[in-house]
Chain A
Amino acid sequence: QITLKESGPTLVKPTQTLTLTCSFSGFSLTTSGVGVAWIRQPPGKALEWLALIYWDDDKRYSPSLKSRLSITMDTTRNQVVLTVTNLDPVDTGTYFCAHRNMGDAFDIWGPGTVVTVSS
């Protein structure tokens, strides 16, 4: 059974850097074809894809946020870490991590973690 869970700070100040951790079980990021993505959702708004890391350490980023994002993986701890630099209040929202299936969709999601950017 695949599960994922996000963790990180709930309140961060503008201009600071946000570090979020996705801890997962039930699969390995060393298995060919596997990927883990980060997606966020501002309050009352639509989903926004942020980043995706593949089993071979290939990384993809949202073109509009690429300069502020970094995604890494720790295969020994079964974790994927997302950092977002230079935070702004518009970065407030729920951040989800999700498992990418072989059909290239996000089939299993974590419950999400709420992040508020405010001074």
Chain B
Amino acid sequence: DIQMTQSPSSLSASVGDTVTITCRASQIVSSYLHWYQQKPGKAPKLLVYAASTLEAGVPARFSGSGSGTYFTLTISSLQPEDFATYYCQQSYNSPSFGQGTKVEIK
């Protein structure tokens, strides 16, 4: 199984800040890495797929990068609606998710 490790597990930030979440895979996953946003009581929403491709309709302040085993999700100019939990997921082989990163208001 491929283990996905996100850091940090949680962070506090202010509106307008730039935040970066990292995701490390226990083995190479090429660019088969995707990012989701989840708000309480809701289903996850796809933000970025294939490491860096923004899903249609997702604001350009979200960006993804990386390949191999190290990936990042960056949110530029954090907005009030961005406070949520973010998950990475690999699909190189049997899909697996990271443990999540909760972005809270400072």
A-to-B contact residues, CB < 8 Å? 37, 39, 46-49, 52, 60-64, 96, 98, 101, 103-112
Contact = CB atoms under 8 A, between A and B. Distances in A.
Given A49-B94, A105-B89, A112 B55 contact: no
B41 to A, nearest CB: 9
Nearest to A61: B94
B50 A62 contact: no
B16 interface: no
Contact of A107 (B1, B49, B87, B97): B49
A60 B49 CA distance: 20
A62 B94 contact: yes
A103 B94 contact: no
Contacts of A108: 46
